[in-house]
Structure 1
Amino acid sequence: MNRKILNSSDSIFDESYPVPTELLTTGIKNPLALDPDNIQFTWQMNSIKRGDTQTAYQILVASSLSNINRDQGDVWDSGKIHSSLSAAIKYDKKNLVPAKRYWWKVRIWDKDHEVSPYSACATFDTGLEKSDWTASYLWDGTTNPNNFAYFRKRFSILKKAKMAKVFVSAHNDYQLFLNGQELGRGPARSNPYKYGQYNAYEVTHQLSLGENAFAAIGHWHGVWNDSGINASPAFILEARIEYLDGGFETIGTDDTWKVLAATPYQEYDPAYFGLYGGIKNRAAIQYDARRMLENWTDVYFNDAVWEMASTVDRSDYNLHAQLVAQDREQQELVPVKVTPSGNDWLVEFDRCINGWPMITMRNNQKGSIVTINYYQLPGTDSPAGWDRYICMGGKETWKPDFGRHTSFKTLKISGYAGDLAIEDVRGIWAYTDAIVSGSFTCSNPFLDDIFKMCERSARQNVQQGIISVDANREQSPWTADSWNIGNGLLYNHKNTMIMDKIIKDFIGEQHECGDFYACSPASTFRIPEWSMYVPMIIWQQYLFSGDKELLTSTYPNIQKFLEWIGEYQDETTHLIDPPTGSWTEGIRFSDYAGGKMNNEGYNVATNSQYYQNLRIASEISSVLGNKPKALEFACKAEAVKEGINKNLFVNDNCYLSKLGDEQAITLGCCWPLRFNIVPEGNKISVKNYIKEFGGSDIGGYGGDAFYNGLYMAGGMGDYIIKDLNRYRKMLETNATNWEQWEKGEYNHAWTSYPAYLFHKYISGIQPTSGAFETFDIKPELLGLTFAESHVATLKGFIRTRWEKVSASRLSLSCSIPANTTATVYLPKGNWQSIVITEGITTLWNDGLIIQDITGIRSVEEEMDYIRINAGSGSYDFEINGTFL
């Protein structure tokens, strides 16, 4: 028998009851800065009991560690709240102080109304709102594009600090040092007028009694098109120090700071890269080591000859606490070979990476020039820009690591004196910090390789935002890429806030007419089809985060968008034909980069997405309790669905690409399949049409709709596996996703959708309500003998494994997190006399429930499946039958 013990709040609990764990505040563990109006609490129930659910919770927020340890919520005590919610619980009080640390913890009541112990405490720090900043923005007095500046400030600390925080931002980039040690880099790419970003660092233990010094590099690009917001150059820093004796001090950027405009970085006559809309997306880093200042970030560096910094007016900038992790050097790669090529050296790595090289020169003379050219494929046929280093002479090591970086599999190094040894060159793989927690494996090693490549490519294209081509052409934050790549992040990366930032970027820059821009932050280009990804991304983020406040805040924006695009709806057919003809008014992309689908007119892709947007608006209205609007949007969606099937569905087996056009291709059939628009009685004929004509007509972008449609149709798993052979060339050439199947941009992760599709369909894991409170496990079995997935959710890990044990026997094991409910679909196949067991217990025998099993709430038979509704816990199902 378990011993009952008494905790400090006089509540009796059983010591075997699980304590809530994995406490997050606004999606982050112990964040160092949060906007005070955006504070939410999340935890995991962490129970191993089958069918366990949370029935109530109590949150305490305290102003000190001592108070929280005494269970005193002096800032907030929620009291006992009867609710199963454990994700994104909004803190809506207005009593928080800027730049202060708070402590919180939670306890919960389970399905038997027994209370748990309080969790271990977590912390969150408030940041600075616009009116809280006392520091001034600085720059070096110059405004030329590709602008670099060095900043310094020496200051004294005369007593011991209790807490010291630094808040810092720049437009566009900074690298910050304290007493010679790097603190970090940032901020995330942003529109400083709408949703600018700042970073926070705790430096309590980095401060020294006596003299200290901040040092920073600032960089402003200044000539972007679709790759970012130019605005004006700026650097701002504010340090807030609380001392042990109760005193406070603020150190901020002002006109007492020192600045150096003539840095070792070459600013004038810059060499830019980029094509099409991404022209001038990146400037070559040209660094003159002869002008390098030794130890200039150290405390006692003599900056007497530096100028005084100029304050600049950036009062129209609006900064918010950055929730996205920072970019870091993640791995140092050793080349697979280094070979001479005339007077140059070719360095090849095992795959194409985002980042920069690190090269050591040993014999170069002062003033000699070393140039590094980048290529995304083996050899020199896929140039991705270059960087240049002017040597100081002697042994020296250089990394072109500040500013935008490129991607490369191959380096061509020119001007290197002597023989280049493998130990003198490395590839630095750099991207935004991510906890990779998802995994997938199956009976086909080729699919495993595709999954690994797609997850890795998606991850490295995250540079504090989702960037389409982090190489030589665009480096742009497109809507379609955010969907294709972002879903892989949601399924595979733990606690990421990337999608939250992306949403706020697009919402913040919404066009006055209601349309969304195709690139944000950038406020440029309009593609109506891609605008419709914004509501889709919002809904997907809600399903993974449970953030109801996100729905509330963006609901007016979604309505405004649907009102705008609805103006282009034909009253008779109910189909829409949005603007086309120019980048400023709208360009139509139903498919792109190798696809053959017609783009304009009353298009099946456009209208399928419009139908889905209306359905999402209906779902959001329901979650927000607006039943009339939910019904209104649902009715509009049904009218569009009817219009698609009446006007575009032909021969009972395929869809026209657009009204009045004879083109009917497989991708045009997959868009309606994807959103369940195809009449039930015609799905088999549509699938047969696709099997007959194949998928050679799809581009890199269209593949997401293509595979979603095939998987949603059901029974196409074996066909899809054969079609996935199109990924083989990527795998074998540079092990990185491309823009299209045979050519194009060779580091473009919008073809990385298998990173989420395999979890979603092969393993069958799909959320059906916020934060996975309910979800489906409905696997696609054809073409494989087993598959296994691990997906980290805010409720805990979901684990599934199915295996075809024999021709008449299938096993499916799954772990369902506490405080969630799963609907498990066991396929009936061509079997009769079906028997289902769970463990050693018979659950179902030929249509009859034989025995109640703890955690299983219902078992129902439908046409193709036995549907089991199961609460939390680990289950081992097996289905046996005889052939019909």
Structure 2
Amino acid sequence: MVDLVAHSNYQSINGYTIQPSPANLLNPNVRSVLIGNKNPAFSWQINSTAADVAQEAYQVLVSDDEKLLGNNKGNVWDSGKIQSIQSSAVIFKGIDLKPSTAYYWTVRVWTNKEKGPSPYAKPIAFYTDSVLSEYKLPSYPTEITEQKPVRLTKSNGVYFADFGKDAFGQLKLDLFSDTNNKAVIIRLGETLDADGGINRKPPGNVRYAQYKLNLLRGMHAYKVQIVPDKINTKPGAVKIPAYIGEVTPFRYCEIEGCNGEVEPENITRLFAHYQFDDNAANFHSSDTTLNAVWELCKYSMKATSYLGTYVDGDRERVPYEADAYINQLSHCAVDREYTIARKTSEHLIYHPTWPTEWILQSVLIAWYDYLYTDDIRPVKHNYENLKAKCLTALADSTYLISTLNGKVTKDVLSSIHFNGELRDIVDWPHNQETDGFVFTKYNAVVNAYYYRALVLMKKMAEDLGKANDAREYEKRAVAVKKAFQKAFYDPKQKIYVDGDGTNHASLHTNMFALAFDLVDAEYRKPILEFIKSRGMACSVYGSQFLLDAVYNAGDGNYGLSLLTSKTDRSWYNMIRAGSTITMEAWDNKYKPNQDWNHAWGAAAANIISRKLMGVEPIESGWTSFRVKPQIGSLTQASIDVPTIKGTIKLSCYQTPKTYDIYLAVPANTWAEVELPIDRSKNDGRLFIDGKQLKSNLKLKNLINTMERIGSGNHHYKIEYF
């Protein structure tokens, strides 16, 4: 990777991928991935399945002549042998790069398992931008994938085409007419009516459009020109690139009035999307509903990526921090792609939205970018902005923050680049999804976010070498946690209330407290029971934090029941309604103006990866990671998790008497495995890679966390007596 771009030599024309070549840089019609940093960062994977492989040193070569690299010479940079385990975000330190130039790079490594260095990797090109700067983000051009209908039927002279899944795109047709000016009606839609045709009056912002084509005599190619929507093309909306042209989401197509025969090969949907590896991540379990939910959420990452920036949906096409946070986590769960999240984060730093919690989420987004990539440059570049986004300026003598304590000044708003009224949100929409939350001067949900932001700012300051800042953030976090308990914990109810002066306790207050580690172990049980009593009393956005809370508390069975629920507040309900991209809300009745292409509804993808399967990074860049499966009542579950270091493969199988974990750890990483020991069983045996651990064990005395293990294939087996 170069600056986190896996295909650094990628080039296309009008969305169609072409064979990359430096000569194409002179062609104004070619869109290339362009590296704009004066000092780009290089990342690589070590391809080895051997046990306990760790990098000890590396050597990077960069040249402006591919032939020189063939002779192992880097005339632009030769790092020499660098003693380091670092294999991601290695910063270029060669001679100045030139604008609009093709460069080539390669790397070789020394590991603890080989006597000498590896062969140099196959060189790959990257192209510099026309202007280079100290900090600039690369991105891929929007792509076009041509798709044929999976089903084509004809009834009463109308052809009906189903592409199988909804997608943002355009329609291309090859149609025959025996006369000139033959009028043909084209209908595009996302949903069907009761008779099985395209719904011409869909609810809310579910899309439908009708177009008229005037055919020429004979067989000709036609492209339907999508009419721009007045709302989602307003100032503030992210615009579709001109080289792609306007798109609309549709799954179904009707062709009426054509007197020639129409075959599937005559109908093409031009699916617009960002670079996406469909095979980077996989999940399968013994529950077919869970598998369908995974596929729904995984596909939603690709289907909603067409603008190269995370947006809220087709209704507005505007980036929001809450959408971006969930989109980022789920995108990282299904693909080894980080540039779109980074670009969105950068946009939101300077174009924030109005909710108090959303401002704080910029800190969370920055943290996860660093955690998943090991590249701290965005944190460094935006550090002062992130400090402001932490909203410490709104804290008063209570140590809590509030938008109602007179602290929201023009200077504060200017520091976060916001020109408007800052307001607490809790969940959205307010009238349906806040579980009756009572808004007061000091808001428990806002302050849970504040605490989380302080904890993460401490970690980022520490890794930037800003020790004084790190100590200050840690001090503030300790004070806020104490103040949070004092202000919001009700010892009689043994749960948290929504704010000062109210005894109302919502699902949201308690799930955010638990999700953001504000609840000490001895207080978790009654809070978890309260959370479970409320069900899914939150929006699709809130489900992210509800499930984080449930799995953090160790209740995998309840987490699974939420993921596989078939109520009208479930992912299955989206599938049942006919959507193939996650919706903005659980159902049309909960948000009548919703659209059917909202990635913030796809939290289940990252929850399955991070919580149900339990694979999460501990150190930045996945240098070490946790494996803590909580598969509930599933008898089998397997996942491939893409990371910047390589793919983690995990499979779990359980019967009443056994639990097997098969884990493949990528080279140059280490895993901490937390075994899902059933404490209700008395005795058992534990095998690690075929070797029994000591003798028969009293399971209640066995700690869950095993020692850190290195790369390779591992097998943990628990047998119960």
Alignment TM-score, normalising by the size of structure 2: 0.82
**Matches of 2:427 and 2:179, distance apart in 1:** 52
Partner of 1:327: 143
Residue 475 of structure 1 is aligned with which of 317, 327, 347?
A: 317
Residue 727, structure 1, aligned to residue 571, structure 2:
yes
Partner of 2:461: 621
Residue 378, structure 1, aligned to residue 217, structure 2:
no
Change (3 A) 1:599 1:87: farther
Change (3 A) 1:112 1:348: closer
TM-superposed deviation, 1:432: 1.5
Residue 369 of structure 2 is aligned with which of 524, 529, 541?
A: 541
Partner of 1:363: 177
TM-superposed deviation, 1:827: 2.2
Partner of 1:517: 352
Give the residue type in structure 2 aligned to 1:82: Q
Residue 822, structure 1, aligned to residue 650, structure 2:
no
Residue 572 of structure 1 is aligned with which of 392, 398, 408?
A: 398
TM-superposed deviation, 1:588: 3.1
TM-superposed deviation, 1:52: 1.7
Residue 289 of structure 2 is aligned with which of 446, 451, 461?
A: 446
Partner of 2:433: 595
Residue 581 of structure 2 is aligned with which of 722, 736, 744?
A: 736
Partner of 1:136: none
Partner of 1:714: 554
Change (3 A) 1:406 1:482: same
Which sections of structure 2, spanning at least 5 residues, go unmatched?
A: 10-32, 194-198, 226-243, 589-593
SS at match of 1:766: strand
Is the Cα–Cα contact under 8 Å of residues 487 and 499 in structure 2 kept in the other structure? no
TM-superposed deviation, 1:474: 1.2
Map Cα deviations across residues 61-116 of structure 1 (whole Å, 9 max, x no partner). Answer: 22322322222222222122111100010114452222222222222221267332
Partner of 1:704: 544
Partner of 2:389: 561
**Matches of 2:695 and 2:532, distance apart in 1:** 36
**Matches of 1:876 and 1:70, distance apart in 2:** 43
Give the root-mean-square deviation of aligned CA atoms: 3.0
Change (3 A) 1:724 1:532: farther
Partner of 1:170: none
Is the Cα–Cα contact under 8 Å of residues 325 and 464 in structure 1 kept in the other structure? no
Is the Cα–Cα contact under 8 Å of residues 110 and 116 in structure 2 kept in the other structure? yes
Residue 407, structure 1, aligned to residue 249, structure 2:
yes
Overall identity of the aligned pairs, in %? 21
**Matches of 2:94 and 2:485, distance apart in 1:** 50
Change (3 A) 1:399 1:532: farther
Change (3 A) 1:127 1:685: same
Partner of 1:523: none
**Matches of 1:333 and 1:130, distance apart in 2:** 43
**Matches of 2:344 and 2:686, distance apart in 1:** 44
- Relative contact order, higher structure (CA 8 A, sep 6+): 2
Residue 773 of structure 1 is aligned with which of 602, 607, 623?
A: 623
Partner of 1:118: 119
Is the Cα–Cα contact under 8 Å of residues 57 and 83 in structure 1 kept in the other structure? yes
* 1:44-193 equivalence runs, <5 A: 44-111=45-112, 114-130=115-131
Greater share of residues in helix: 2
Is the Cα–Cα contact under 8 Å of residues 674 and 705 in structure 1 kept in the other structure? yes
Is the Cα–Cα contact under 8 Å of residues 56 and 109 in structure 2 kept in the other structure? yes
TM-superposed deviation, 1:325: 4.5
Give the residue type in structure 2 aligned to 1:591: D
SS at match of 1:869: coil
The count of residues paired between Structure 1 and Structure 2 equals: 642
Map Cα deviations across residues 181-232 of structure 1 (whole Å, 9 max, x no partner). Answer: xxxxxxxxxxxxx99xxxxxxxxxxxxxxxxxxxxxxxxxxxxxxxxxxxxx
Change (3 A) 1:659 1:37: farther
If you compute each CA radius of gyration, which structure gives the higher value, 1 or 2?
A: 1
Residue 391 of structure 1 is aligned with which of 214, 222, 225?
A: 214
Partner of 2:298: 455
Map Cα deviations across residues 660-695 of structure 1 (whole Å, 9 max, x no partner). Answer: 334322232111111111121111111111222322
SS at match of 1:875: strand
Change (3 A) 1:600 1:863: farther
Partner of 2:649: 799
Is the Cα–Cα contact under 8 Å of residues 334 and 425 in structure 1 kept in the other structure? no
Which sections of structure 1, spanning at least 5 residues, go unmatched?
A: 1-22, 133-193, 196-319, 510-515, 519-525, 849-859
Residue 608, structure 1, aligned to residue 448, structure 2:
yes
SS at match of 1:532: helix
Greater share of residues in strand: 1
Map Cα deviations across residues 599-627 of structure 1 (whole Å, 9 max, x no partner). Answer: 84422222111111111101101211222
Partner of 1:223: none
**Matches of 2:305 and 2:122, distance apart in 1:** 31
Partner of 1:144: none
**Matches of 2:627 and 2:712, distance apart in 1:** 14
Moved more, 826-835 or 783-792: 826-835
**Matches of 1:49 and 1:356, distance apart in 2:** 47
Alignment TM-score, normalising by the size of structure 1: 0.68
Map Cα deviations across residues 680-736 of structure 1 (whole Å, 9 max, x no partner). Answer: 1111111111222322x2112211111111111112434542464222221122333
TM-superposed deviation, 1:847: 6.6
**Matches of 1:792 and 1:386, distance apart in 2:** 38
Residue 872 of structure 1 is aligned with which of 711, 715, 719?
A: 711
Partner of 1:746: 596
Partner of 2:196: none
TM-superposed deviation, 1:427: 3.8
* 1:168-567 equivalence runs, <5 A: 322-335=138-151, 337-340=153-156, 347-363=161-177, 366-367=180-181, 370-379=184-193, 380=199, 381-382=201-202, 383-386=206-209, 388-394=211-217, 395-400=219-224, 402-411=244-253, 416-418=257-259, 421=262, 423=264, 424-436=266-278, 437-468=280-311, 470-471=313-314, 473-507=315-349, 509=350, 517-518=352-353, 526-562=354-390, 565-567=391-393
Map Cα deviations across residues 480-522 of structure 1 (whole Å, 9 max, x no partner). Answer: 1111122121121134421122222223x2xxxxxx513xxxx
Partner of 1:855: none
